[in-house]
Amino acid sequence: MGLQTVSWLHDGEVLHRDSLGSLQTVRPRELGLMTSGRAISHSEESPRRHARFLHGAQLWVALPDAHRQVQPHFQHHADLPVVTAPGLT
């Protein structure tokens, strides 16, 4: 409770399912943002057919006291901005 998870994949896929009824596959270069708020249950699993590797980052953020009891929700962001500079993308 009172947490927010930020999931950003580089390789592989994760199937997000939660008690709100969300069912979403998160793919590379997409972002899954789950706010637990006052309470949510969820699972993250590899789909039946999946890539050999799963590579990404997941951050766990403690919500400020004023937001710890908010309504739980899940957001999927498939179209993220891309930043490029010499030698990096």
pLDDT in tens, 2-57: 899 999 999 999 999 999 999 999 999 999 999 998 899 999 998 888 778 899 99
Give CA torsion, residues 62, 66, 68, 72, to 10 deg: -110
pLDDT computed for residue 89 by the predictor: 85
pLDDT of residue 7: 94
Can you give the pLDDT at residue 55? 93
2 burial level (CB within 10 Å; 0-12, 13-18, 19+): middle
Does residue 38 fall inside a structural domain?
Answer: yes
Specify the number of domains making up the chain.
Answer: 1
Residue 21, domain extent: 3-58
pTM recorded for the entire structure: 0.84
Residue 71 within any structural domain of the chain: no
User: What pLDDT score does 47 carry?
Assistant: 80
**Looking at the domain assignment, is residue 53 inside a domain?**
yes
Residue 79 domain flag:
no
In a domain, 54, yes or no: yes
